[in-house]
């Protein structure tokens, strides 16, 4: 598993989440990119990123079983590659 578990990430400032029955739509106002978050649990993890110190804490708070973490990390890495979430310094997380 990647080091992402021990890193701090947040929803990018130019990104808005819109809740949907299937999960959420993430829209990046800078790139005009639209991404579907197809699992409500993933939406919870992404929302938790803004209040937790590291990704591991966001996954635990969302009650994601540890055996599912690799799939969630892969999804978060995909969101990071498109700029939907951005890495931050530990001190920047509220």
- Residue 77: helix, strand or coil by DSSP? helix
Written as one string, the DSSP assignment of 1-47 is --GGGGSEEEE-TTEEEEEETTEEEEEETTTTEEEEE--HHHHHHHH
Average pLDDT, the chain: 91
The one-digit pLDDT tens for each residue of the chain (94 residues) are: 578 999 999 999 999 999 999 999 999 999 999 999 999 999 999 999 998 889 999 999 999 999 999 999 999 999 999 999 999 865 454 4
Check residue 38 and give its pLDDT: 94
Q: Is there a contact between 40 and 21 (Cβ–Cβ < 8 Å)?
A: no
What residue ranges define each of the domains in the chain, with the CATH number in brackets? 3-89 (3.90.930.70)
């Amino acid at each position: 598993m990647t080091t992402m578990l021990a890193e701090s990430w947040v929803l990018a400032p130019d990104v808005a989440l819109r809740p949907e029955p299937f999960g959420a739509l993430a829209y990046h106002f800078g790139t005009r990119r639209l991404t579907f978050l197809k699992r409500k649990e993933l939406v919870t993890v992404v929302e938790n990123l803004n209040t937790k110190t590291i990704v591991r804490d966001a996954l635990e708070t969302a009650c994601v079983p540890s055996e599912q973490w690799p799939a969630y990390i892969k999804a978060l890495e995909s969101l990071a590659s498109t700029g939907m979430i951005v890495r931050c310094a530990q001190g920047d997380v509220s």
